Structure 1
Amino acid sequence: MSDQMELWLQEQLKFYDEDEKKTEKQLRILSAAIEVFAEKGYAASSTSEIAQKAAVAEGTIFRHYKTKKELLLSIVAPMMTKLLAPFVLRDFTKVLDADYASYEQFLRAVIVNRIEFVKKHLPVVKILLQEIPFHPELKEQFLDAVAGQVLGRLTPIIEKFQANGQIVPIPSKTALRLTGSAILGFLAMRYMLLPHLEWEDEQEIEHTIQFILYGLSTSERPG
């Protein structure tokens, strides 16, 4: 394990030990599970591999977590309620409450903000993106803890820029979906799917913003 990953895990394990003190073995199991799930995905991971990495017997895992699914939920649920939801809202406040002259300025602030978040919490972000589509419980938790609150804050911003003519008058949810798809696609490719490529980050951010604003049209762009 890299020193960076070790420091990250130590920081994140604090979230799991706040409400209910966990034993050293439980924390080792959680740490190992985060590593294995992030690297291989839930379906391809085994409790025996997690046990080996945690230096415990496989039976020890099942004394604390009845199933591999329960182990996954014990990792993701606290992260969404204690870290992701508060972090998204707290960290987004400075972005969402700022006064931007253009949608382009707003997009740039959002992308930079989300890049910092993904870089800091990449292992759990990987688990979330990999597993939410396949586990209804995680999807429901994500919608309740994160998505609903964020959408509520973003909708008035979209409507403001629609009112001043900077965004086409389509449903605000559609505008958010198209914007979010482009930003999430960039983040997923950059940090999860193809991180080994030589990325020109500033250029890619600019391309992403211009794509959201103007698509792939060859028509002359205003201004």
Structure 2
Amino acid sequence: MDEQQWIANLLKENDRDAKLTEKQIKILQAAVETFAEKGYASTSTSEIAKKAGVAEGTIFRHYKTKKDLLLAIVIPTLTKVIVPTVAKEFAKDVFENQYESYEDFLRALIKNRYHFIKKNLPLVRIFWQEFAFHPEIKEEFQKAFTENVYQRFKEMVEQFQEKGEIVELPTASIIRMTITTIGGFFLTRFVIMPEHEWDDEVEIERTIQFLMNGLRKR
């Protein structure tokens, strides 16, 4: 699916409660692309208007501020797209499977999130860039993680601790180490150094082995 089709599908998902005009759709498409490319702070409404093919005043007729435009994209997507994905697809594809080892679980987890990020990269970049600066985004993300992921993750860690495969550290610490290591790879790969000549399969495997070297019970 190309980026234009992805954005169109996203806007349809966000448009269930209120019908968007053709101009609003063009504005939101332009905003997603420009925020993802340049970041929220570095993007002007004039740039968005030019990309959307509308007058800048048209943006302010629909959205009072640039932040309103950002939240029109991010908050609905968190609540209507990301949360259902975490609750259903992510849980089904990763946490409901049986694994022979924690290493196998890590491999399924990282590959699942890798494909998710590649598919939704423009919006994921916006989340990463703006997460620390907008409490609305942070609160929705924390809620989604706490309600849909944390308990399943905890049970998975405890399962392999009981088998004697991974170290007897607090489960919260193991989850933190796992998430920050995998998240660090994704952040570097897709945001900080996206132009680097990555061998993704090799880097994924190195990330898994790095984690297992620290978590495997001796």
Name the TM-score class by shorter chain.
Answer: over 0.9
Asked whether the 8 Å contact 2:106–2:208 carries over to 1, the reply is yes
- Where does the alignment leave 5 or more consecutive residues of structure 1 unmatched? 216-220
Partner of residue 95, structure 1: 94
Asked whether the 8 Å contact 2:161–2:168 carries over to 1, the reply is yes
Q: Give the Cα separation in 1 of the matches to 2:94 and 2:104.
A: 10
State the SS of the aligned residue for 1:134.
coil
Q: Shift of the alpha carbon at 1:147?
A: 4.5
Partner of residue 44, structure 1: 42
State the SS of the aligned residue for 2:132.
helix
State the SS of the aligned residue for 1:167.
coil
- Aligned residue runs from structure 1 range 1-223, under 5 A: 4-92=2-90, 93-215=92-214
State the SS of the aligned residue for 2:131.
helix
Q: Give the Cα separation in 2 of the matches to 1:37 and 1:147.
A: 27
**Identity among equivalent pairs (%):** 52
Partner of residue 218, structure 1: none
Farther off after superposition, 105-114 or 50-59 = 50-59
Letter in 2 for 1:13: L
Q: Shift of the alpha carbon at 1:144?
A: 1.6
Q: Give the Cα separation in 2 of the matches to 1:147 and 1:209.
A: 24
- Pick closer, same or farther for the CA change 1:190–1:146 going to 2, 3 Å: same
State the SS of the aligned residue for 1:19.
coil
Q: Give the Cα separation in 1 of the matches to 2:98 and 2:124.
A: 29
State the SS of the aligned residue for 1:170.
coil
Q: Give the Cα separation in 1 of the matches to 2:161 and 2:12.
A: 43
Q: Shift of the alpha carbon at 1:19?
A: 1.6
Letter in 2 for 1:170: L
Asked whether the 8 Å contact 1:84–1:146 carries over to 2, the reply is no
Q: Give the Cα separation in 2 of the matches to 1:90 and 1:222.
A: 32
Asked whether the 8 Å contact 1:80–1:146 carries over to 2, the reply is no
Count the aligned residue pairs.
217
Farther off after superposition, 162-171 or 40-49 = 162-171
Letter in 2 for 1:113: N
Report Cα offsets for 1:29-51 as digits up to 9, x if no partner. 11011011101111111111111
Farther off after superposition, 166-175 or 32-41 = 166-175
State the SS of the aligned residue for 2:168.
coil
Structure 1 segments of 4 or more deviating over 3 A?
Answer: none
Letter in 2 for 1:158: V
- Where does the alignment leave 5 or more consecutive residues of structure 2 unmatched? none
Report Cα offsets for 1:12-67 as digits up to 9, x if no partner. 22122222110001111110110111011111111111111111111111111111
Q: Shift of the alpha carbon at 1:117?
A: 0.3
Letter in 1 for 2:75: A
Letter in 1 for 2:58: T
Q: Shift of the alpha carbon at 1:137?
A: 1.3
- In angstroms, what is the RMSD of aligned CA positions? 1.9
TM-score normalized by the length of structure 1: 0.92
Asked whether the 8 Å contact 1:80–1:141 carries over to 2, the reply is yes
Report Cα offsets for 1:148-170 as digits up to 9, x if no partner. 42112211111111122222111
State the SS of the aligned residue for 2:28.
helix
Q: Shift of the alpha carbon at 1:222?
A: 8.6
